[in-house]
Amino acid sequence: VRTRGCNGLSYTLEYTKSKGESDEEVVQDGVRVFIEKKAQLTLLGTEMDYVENKLTSEFVFNNPNIKGICGCGESFNI
């Protein structure tokens, strides 16, 4: 999670080769995801899925903590 967009926060995925000292590790179906400490409370209960259709292929986040999103859907607030 990074501070940006018109509503405050947005999801950011980056490749890494190692786990940070305070990162949370989540493993499912052989995929490892590391969550930075500063984003952990923001993401509690969040489900992430990969969706492909005729127009896009993207990760989709279902975050129960969101209080509002911007009009374009790129950022959110908690």
Report pLDDT digits (tens) over 39-53: 999 999 999 999 999
For 5, left (φ over 0), alpha (ψ -120 to 50), or beta?
left
- Tally of domains within the chain: 1
pTM: 0.77
- The enclosing domain of 11 has a CATH number of 2.60.300.12
* Digit-coded pLDDT (tens) for 6-48: 778 888 999 998 999 999 999 998 989 999 999 999 999 999 9
Range of the domain at 44: 2-77
